[in-house]
Every structure is written in structure tokens, then in C-alpha cells.
Amino acid sequence: MSVSMHAAPRPHTRATRREPAMHALEGLARELFEEISAFPVVDCHEHLPSEPERVAEPMDAIQLFKHYCPADLAAAGMPVRERDEVFDASKPLEPRWAAFKPYLDAIRFGSYAYPAFAYAREVLGFETIDDATVGPISERLQADNRAGLYDRVLRDLCGIDTVLECAGTMVPENPRYFAHLFTTWSHKLRAPLIARLEEETGIAVHSLGKCVDALQARVAREKDKGCIAMKVGAAYSRSLDFADVTPAQAQRVFADLRRGVDTVLSREDDWCLEDYLLRREIEACIDLGLPVAIHTGYHASNWNDIRNARATELWHLLKSYPQARFDLFHGSFPYVSDMTVLGKYFPNVALNMCWMHILSPTVSRRALDEWLDTVPVTKIFAFGGDYRVVELVYGHLQLARENVAAVLAGRVGAGRMTRAQAVEVARLLFYENPRRWYGLA
């Protein structure tokens, strides 16, 4: 089934899970949460492996903390070697749990850890993960680790209609409701990637012009394979200020690069070539009607330079391509007001809350309230799990629903909108807006 022909999502299988613990939600906020939970959802960002890959790996309770929590464990002082050992599910559980537990106690109240505990409590029926429950929870997780897992979690449990999967290219083994984003190849272009580019496109990359031809041919090829957008993740290693480089400037760097396989470029030359080539890829996306998703804000591991990732650095790029559709990931967390400015100025920019709710529910609520004050409501996307462990999507989505419900209830209480309008806004944020922006409808 093509992305544009989704059937309505199957209803939640509520008999298999407990009701969520919404101690912080009362009155109208809780009512809105319950209504929002019945909506279909476009999950705007995941990194899930294919289901065959996933179910081939052993699963236990510690694996529920394997994505993102390692950063908090490092911040709590856990040595890297010890961390790697406790997440090795091929080894006996008991000694790994004994090593893991002291560090888990340091992070268990953080939002990164919340989805693991939510899944154990609300889906598996265990009040917490501790000495007494880690074994039974592990047995349940392994028993569920079989074909159909993604349907059971994403469709039946979460009510997700479409998953925007950032696997780098198409993954045919993924369920039919996965819509794939491919990754730009202009970033850190070197001899091995040039060779692969030549092999995939049949274009000999012997000049800058041929390099552009090959990159643009790859964009077209990825669309033909079924991908729906291009993702730019360069913020992990460089500024988001992609300058408008001249062909002569880029040609000089490209010539230096091709003169030797082991050429080491200066940072300035490296960025110069990337700036030029990324803009050519974006132009191909415009011609083919593909949106461009860009990582902004926080990084997924420790010791990165957050200054690289502030969304306002994208100013020149966004202004250069008014005909493009840019989806800015992660709200530029923690610099959420950067996104406020960009969403208010540029009609070609959408603000995506993927990952944000587990970074901080508090900041996420503040960001959403600020964006609703300033940005057209048709340009905000409420949720993306951004996970490699599918069970964690459930708890993250619960946090997102709680945050949206709380913010909208506050606005109803302040007389800024009616209850009916709040429900309609929530449906836009979770479903209609991303479907329209990505052409899924």
C-alpha cells in the first residue's frame, strides 16, 4: 500500500494495557488527553531498525534504556566500558542488572528514562523496574520480540497511522505504513562515498559539475524508490550556516579533494564544499517536490558543541529557497525561541517537536505555548519518537499527548480558544499538519 493510500489505523487494543498514570492532568487537561489519544498520529521521526533485524536480537528490561539513556548514564558517571557491558543482552541478566541498578537510580526520574517505566507499568502491568520485576519484565519482552511487534506497538497500542523513518534510504522490510527519508550525501563527501555515488548513479564524478549531476541523480533515484524527503544531519559536526558558495570556490576545494584519496581538508574548505553541494541537493528536492528535514538543537550524545546547532544559523538557507519546504527537527532545543522566529518569518518552515518531549516536558510545554502565540498553527508537528527501540515510542507519545493537552487546556482556561477549537488544533498538530507538509494525504 502506498503512503498516500493508508487505511485508518486500527483501534487501540486497550484490553492489553493499563490506563496511563496521569497524576499531573486534571479536569479539562485530562479530558483533552483522552480525546487526543483517540486521534490517528503521524510519527514525525524514527530511527527504527527493520523488524527482522530487531526481533533477531535478544531483548530484556535493560534494553528499554538503551537509546538516549546512555547519555544520562554517562552524565551520572558510568564508565563507557561498563555501560557497553550492561547493554550486552547476550550475557546473563543478573550481573548486568547489579552493575546497572546504581546508575539507573540516578537517572530514573529523568524524562529519558520515563518511557521505559511507562511501558513496563502501562503495557506490561509492572509498577516499576526493580530487583523483583527485572526478570519477569525481561521474559515478557523477549516473548513479545517476534514478527508483528511493530504492528502491535505502533498501530494497535499507539494508534500511529504513518511513521516517518530516517533510515538513510528505503528499507523494503519495514511495514507498509513507514514513509522513508533519505540522508544527504553532500556532508563529509570523501573518496569512498564518491565511489558509491558513482556506482549507484552510473556517473563518473571527475569534476564538480559531474558531482552535482550525480548527487541530483541520487535524489531522483531515492524518490523513485519511494522516499518522501531528504534529511540533513550536519549539525553534529558543523554550523548550520550554509553559505551561498560560488562554483569557483567549490571547484577549487573539489579539485584538491580529488587529487588524493587521503586529502585532509581544512574546516573552511570542508564547509565550503558542503555548502555548495547541499544547496544543489536542495534544488533537486524543490524540482521533485520533496521536503527537506534538518536536525537542529540538541545532540544525541555527550560532549557535542551545541553552538553548531542553533536553528537561527539556517537564516540564509531558508531565505534562499522560499519555494522549498523545510521541516526543522527537535525545536532547536534548548533554544526554542530560535524556532519561534523562523516559524513566524518564513512560510516555508515547519516546526517539529520530535524528540523534544523526552528532552524536557517542561521546555516542550513552554515551546508549544510560545509557538501557538506566534506561529501559524498549521506549521507545528507535535510528535516524533526518534527511537531505535520500538517499545519506547509508546511512553514518548503519552508524554507528547499530555503536554499538548495541558497547553491547550491552559489556553482554553485563559479564553484564547474554545474547547472545540482546542480539539481541532490537537488534531492538526498530531495528524493533519505533517500529512499535508509531506504530501501524505
pLDDT band at 260 (very low <50, low <70, confident <90, very high): low
pTM of the model: 0.93
Q: What is the mean pLDDT of residues 245-264?
A: 84
Residue pLDDT, tens place only, 298-324? 999 888 888 889 999 999 999 999 999
Whether residues 351 and 226 fall in one domain: yes
CB 285 within 8 A of CB 219: yes
- Taking 60 as the threshold, does the pLDDT of residue 399 lie above it? yes
The domain boundary residue, chosen from 100, 117, 144: 144
Q: What is the pLDDT of residue 341?
A: 97
Whether residues 264 and 311 fall in one domain: yes
How many folded domains does the chain comprise?
2
Please give the helix or strand (H or E) that residue 366 lies within, else none. Answer: helix 361-374
Residue 175 lies inside a defined structural domain of this protein? yes
Q: What is the pLDDT of residue 262?
A: 53
Whether residues 180 and 133 fall in one domain: no
Whether residues 285 and 418 fall in one domain: yes
Residue 223 structural domain:
151-437
Residue 199 lies inside a defined structural domain of this protein? yes
Q: What is the pLDDT of residue 8?
A: 39
d(CA 425, CA 319) in angstroms, rounded, equals 28
Four-residue CA torsion sign, 8, 9, 13, 14: negative
Whether residues 209 and 98 fall in one domain: no
Residue 107 lies inside a defined structural domain of this protein? yes
d(CA 283, CA 234) in angstroms, rounded, equals 18
Residue 31 lies inside a defined structural domain of this protein? no
DSSP state string for 149-168: HHIIIIIIIT-EEEEEEEEE
The domain boundary residue, chosen from 122, 144, 166: 144
Whether residues 175 and 316 fall in one domain: yes
Residue 53 lies inside a defined structural domain of this protein? no
Residue 221 lies inside a defined structural domain of this protein? yes
Q: Which of 387, 343, 346 is nearest to 368 (CA)?
A: 343
Residue pLDDT, tens place only, 350-397? 999 999 999 999 999 999 999 999 999 999 999 999 999 999 999 999
Whether residues 253 and 120 fall in one domain: no
Work out the angle at residue 97's Cα, subtended by the Cα atoms of residues 16 and 61, and round it to the nearest 5 degrees.
Answer: 20
The domain boundary residue, chosen from 144, 172, 194: 144
Whether residues 264 and 132 fall in one domain: no
Q: What is the pLDDT of residue 23?
A: 52
- Taking 50 as the threshold, does the pLDDT of residue 58 lie above it? yes
The domain that contains 395 carries what CATH number? 3.20.20.140
Whether residues 73 and 182 fall in one domain: no
Least confident residue range of 53-67, 120-134, 177-191: 177-191
Q: What is the pLDDT of residue 20?
A: 47
The residue among 107 and 8 whose pLDDT is bigger is: 107
Residue 9 lies inside a defined structural domain of this protein? no
Residue pLDDT, tens place only, 125-136? 999 999 999 999
DSSP state string for 81-149: HHHHHHT-TTS-HHHHHHHHHHHHHHHTTSTTTHHHHHIIIIIS--S--STTTHHHHHHHHHHH-STTH
Whether residues 158 and 97 fall in one domain: no
Whether residues 260 and 339 fall in one domain: yes
d(CA 316, CA 240) in angstroms, rounded, equals 10
Whether residues 97 and 188 fall in one domain: no
Q: What is the pLDDT of residue 14?
A: 37
Q: What is the pLDDT of residue 1?
A: 27
d(CA 349, CA 435) in angstroms, rounded, equals 15
